[in-house]
Amino acid sequence: MTQKKRILTGDRPTGPLHIGHYIGSLANRVKLQDTHEQIILVADVQALTDHAAQPEKIRANMIEVVSDYLAVGIDPQKSTIAIQSLIPEIAELTIFYLNLVTVNRLRRNPTVKAEILQKGFGENVPAGFLMYPVSQAADITIFKADLVPVGADQVPVIEQTNELVRAFNRLYKTDILREAEPLVPTVGGRLSGIDGQAKMSKSLGNAIYLSDSADTVAQKVKSMFTDPGHLRVSDPGKIEGNVVFTYLDIFAPDKQQVAQMKEHYQRGGLGDMVVKKYLIDVLESVLGPIRTRREQIVQDRALVMDVVQKGTAHARELAAHTMAEVRKIMSLDYFS
């Protein structure tokens, strides 16, 4: 029987997960767990690279994120859910990798450059944040992942991972570490925020969360950015940049109805609130079942902790095996 390919994915627990995460990765993980050996890493160490003063927040968000995983249908019998900080072998491999990459190479990484600019670090970028791609390379390779689902903006991180693998294997004349391939979702890019900004995030206050109540979702949809020139119902409206239609294109199952609404909106006679009401119904059909399951899960903290404890134990076994190979190749297996 053909062995399943191994996939590594995960999230930084800096806040609850939103519908951008759902459409961009979570729904895909639910499908992948039936066809691949999937490891999902709650990357709390990487979350601390820019939240070092908020460890309690990261700890609390771990519970929230794992609850979201279980609520959308990720099955701990099929997927391994593990906590990064409880697998010290990852940190060990990160240190070894740091000897194989220059600071200038890290600064040139397009993903790192963009995030440093976005966060406004300037010259005060934390060293932990700068070495983010190295830490991710250790995440990927310590589990010998074949595939890593990422957005297009994260592909440079996979490229740098493979550079490190080639450097390690060449230096130590081995092939124990393997390169990984990026798996870019078919839904392109990030889901825009409800305010029309390119990115949906907690810091911008423009996200719809999986944990939001039905009333909160409705309120957020009603505040969505549409066409500022569509002042009267009778006015022709623009579809481009209209967040409501962007969301309908992604979430509405009836594409023909969406096309008819677009045509009506463009010629005039269709009000924004009518379109938003339809989107509210569409989103509730997606989020309602998730919300119900989530409400049950968060009441059973012991269940969540059991899932991550067992998942972390399994992940650490895999990591320990890889590190035993790495130490032997590097002549660091002193007592073997």
% of the chain beyond a pLDDT of 70 = 98
| pLDDT confidence of residue 119 | 81
pLDDT digits (tens, 9 = 90+) for 219-265: 999 999 999 999 899 999 999 999 999 999 999 999 999 999 999 99
Over range 99-121, report the average pLDDT.
87
Listed ranges 120-124, 129-133, 254-258; the one with the highest mean pLDDT: 254-258
Q: How far apart are CA 96 and CA 329, in angstroms?
A: 12
Helices 301-329 and 272-298 sit at what angle, rounded to 10 degrees? Answer: 80
Asked if residue 45 has pLDDT above 70, the reply is yes
CATH architecture assignment, domain 214-295: Orthogonal Bundle (1.10)
What residue spans define the domains of the chain? Answer: 6-191+300-329, 214-295
Domain 6-191+300-329 adopts which CATH fold?
Rossmann fold (3.40.50)
**Is the pLDDT higher at 15 or at 169?**
169
At 76, the pLDDT band (50, 70, 90 cuts) reads very high
| pLDDT confidence of residue 189 | 52
| pLDDT confidence of residue 1 | 52
Asked if residue 188 has pLDDT above 80, the reply is no
Structure-token match 């969505």, residue found? 224
Hey, do 6-191+300-329 and 214-295 end up sharing a CATH topology, with the first three levels equal? no
| pLDDT confidence of residue 186 | 65
Q: What is the 3-state secondary structure (H, E, C) of 18-82?
A: EHHHHHHHHHHHHHHCCCCEEEEEECHHHHCCCCCCCHHHHHHHHHHHHHHHHHHCCCCCCEEEE
| pLDDT confidence of residue 280 | 98
